Amino acid sequence: MRGSGLSVAMVLVLAAGQASAAGIDLSKPYGNKSGCINKNGQQVYAEDMLLLNDKEFVTAASACTFTEKKTQADGSLVVKSMCEAEGEDGQSPIQFTIKRSPKNAKKLVIADEDGTVYGEVSRCR
């Protein structure tokens, strides 16, 4: 009996390692409350809007279209994008890192290359 408990613990540790090593799936949108409300187009305006899917990252003031995505060894996703900011002409290249929240593995944290965190997002329903 004692040995089987150890085996179960080892299986759980291995499963947890595989889950975190698996990449981040953006096939369904992630957002904060106002981002998820707007997942099918601009329904309401909100200063705090964050919406993330497999093609773009949208905030109240900017829209970034992904040009390249790379999964890192730790399971995080590094995304290169071209962004348009409200009130500015043209596009600028910006790189984001998307990783699981240390507080809640079901949430994602989005940060730019300087480490500025845009916020946490959850899978939209």
pLDDT value of position 17: 35
Q: Is the pTM of this model over 0.85?
A: no
**Which among 69, 64, 30, 78 has a CA at the least distance from the CA of 50?**
30
Collect contacts of 46-53 with beta carbons under 8 A, ≥24 apart: 48/119, 50/110, 50/118, 50/119, 50/121, 51/121, 52/26, 52/98, 52/108, 52/110, 52/121, 53/26, 53/28, 53/29
pLDDT value of position 29: 96
Q: What is the mean pLDDT of each run of 10 residues along the chain (125 residues)?
A: 40 36 84 91 80 94 94 94 91 95 94 92 95
pLDDT value of position 10: 35
pLDDT value of position 94: 94
pLDDT value of position 67: 97
Residue carrying structure tokens 């593995």: 105
Please state the domain extents for the chain.
Answer: 24-123
pLDDT value of position 39: 86
Distance CA 66, CA 64 (A): 6
